[in-house]
Amino acid sequence: MLVAKVFVVLVCAATTVKAIAKLEEVFAWKQVTFTWPSAETEKIAKEEGDYEPKNNLPLGLARWKDKLFVTVPRWKSGVAATLGYVSLNEPINKTAAITPYPDWKAHILPKNDSKPDPNTLVSIFRVAVDKCDRLWAMDTGLADILGNPKQVLPPSIAIFDLNTDKLIRRYTIKSDWVSEDAFFANIEVDVKGDRCDEAFAYLPNLGSYELVVYSFQEDDSWRFKHNFFHFDPLKGDFNVSGVNFQWSDGIFSIALGPEEPNGYRTAYFHALASLNEFSVNTEVLQNQTLAADPHNYHLFKLEGSKGENSQTASSVFDQQSNVLFVSQQNKDGVACWNPKKPLNPQNVPLIIEDHEKLVFINDLKIDADRNLWILSDKLSHFLYRELSPEEVNYRILKIKVDDAIEGSICKV
């Protein structure tokens, strides 16, 4: 019995080490910097409190060609720019400065009682790149979230044409959906086939436990309410690298499965404070009538539990391998699941783990080359302790999807 247990431990350790060995650390910052117009501009920004390096924490990412977009939410004052990019052209500078996107002007917040420019980008948590070369950004519009919160602009979706770097649309979330508890920190984009107008954005409201669906073609939105969007009160206790805290975040991220012949997909979702994974077909989500139907409960499905301490902030689906990747906040790693198997702890193995480089994985993305990108940022330390400017705090790593699942039960 003891020999069998030792063998199992060694096999699991070997699998984990194998994945870690293939992780490529692309960027690593102690503190992020920006490509300022001049040294004098940066100096003035620091003097006036517009740039406080320690308050700039990268959180979301997305790749488009040679640009890797990075978001920096305005958790605290002194965030220079909430959306920017770093170049992936070789040779890559691992501590590269972030270039504000689409330009510096978009990130200048109004002072005193002046009115904001309607195209101002205030506080973006996550972004998505679609197959039509568009960047979708969910802007909360809320600045200095942990200090003196100010709703500079209402929550909105900003959509950019990446070939021209022009803002092509800004859609404001309906005011009666923005309650005191509402918080939109994520966005997933679904384009039907090659019909770029037939695009939908799915916007989880983690604080009000709702899901907003936006239609690009109709330039309109509707919202779903469901019990599955709520957090599990027994699973809101987190311990990330020695930092203990309690959250009550509901529906948090959505990952889309392969497109079916009818153009729809399976959308997988979960609350952050939960161990369960759920699903719903996008045919349901894209039906505005069903959103208002009080009998839509059984159109949503419980897939199963990922297992103890498996709370997930970010997820992404690789359609070629048919594998869902989920971050594991309490485990400093990434797990996987192939929907061809029942969702239970045995079928959701931890395939990547690193207690130094993967402390609080905040975003996962898969690019057109099927690289799995991972952003870790020690968010729990940032919120509840202090980050040391002498240590690497923020990392962006990548691994080929096929390498990540090699040897695991997820590869079917």
Encoded amino acid at 238, one letter: F
Residue 262's Cα: distance from chain center in Å? 28
Domain co-membership, 313 together with 255: yes
Domain co-membership, 230 together with 167: no
Domain co-membership, 223 together with 318: yes
Domain co-membership, 397 together with 299: yes
Output the pLDDT for position 224. 97
Between CA 69 and CA 98 the distance in angstroms is 9
Residue 375 falls within a domain, yes or no?
Answer: yes
Domain co-membership, 276 together with 384: yes
Domain co-membership, 1 together with 64: no
Output the pLDDT for position 113. 81
Report how far apart the first and last C-alpha atoms of the chain are (Å, whole number): 29
Q: Is 278 helix (H, G, I), strand (E, B) or coil?
A: strand
Residue 212 falls within a domain, yes or no?
Answer: no
- Degrees to nearest 5, angle at CA 107 with 105 and 113: 95
Q: What is the DSSP string of 171-235?
A: EEPPGGG--TT--B---EEEE-TT-TTSEEEEEEETTTTEEEEEETTTTEEEEEE-GGGS--TTS
Residue 211 falls within a domain, yes or no?
Answer: no
Q: Identify the segments of the chain with pLDDT beneath 70.
A: 1-21
160-189: string of b/e by CB count within 10 Å (b at 16+)? Answer: bebeeeebeeebebeeebbeeebbbbbbbb
Residue 192 falls within a domain, yes or no?
Answer: no
Domain co-membership, 11 together with 89: no
Residue 117 falls within a domain, yes or no?
Answer: yes
Domain co-membership, 335 together with 313: yes
Domain co-membership, 71 together with 106: yes
pLDDT digits (tens, 9 = 90+) for 287-323: 999 999 989 999 999 999 999 999 999 999 999 999 9
Domain co-membership, 47 together with 157: yes
What is the enclosing helix (H) or strand (E) of 383?
helix 379-384
For residue 139, the enclosing domain spans: 31-172
Residue 113 falls within a domain, yes or no?
Answer: yes
Residue that has been written with the tokens 């942990």 in this structure: 146
Q: What is the pTM of this model?
A: 0.94
Residue 255's Cα: distance from chain center in Å? 10
Four-residue CA torsion sign, 129, 132, 135, 140:
negative
Residue 313 falls within a domain, yes or no?
Answer: yes
Dihedral angle, C-alpha 83, 89, 94, 95, nearest 10 °: -50
Between CA 269 and CA 267 the distance in angstroms is 7
Residue 193 falls within a domain, yes or no?
Answer: no
Domain co-membership, 55 together with 20: no
The tokens describing 191, both together, are 């384009």
Domain co-membership, 98 together with 16: no
Q: Do 139 and 107 contact (CB within 8 A), yes or no?
A: no
- Degrees to nearest 5, angle at CA 259 with 374 and 338: 55
Domain count, the chain: 2
Output the pLDDT for position 294. 87
CATH number at 124 reads: 2.120.10.30
Asked whether the bond before 53 is cis by omega within 30 degrees of 0, the reply is: no
Between CA 42 and CA 104 the distance in angstroms is 12
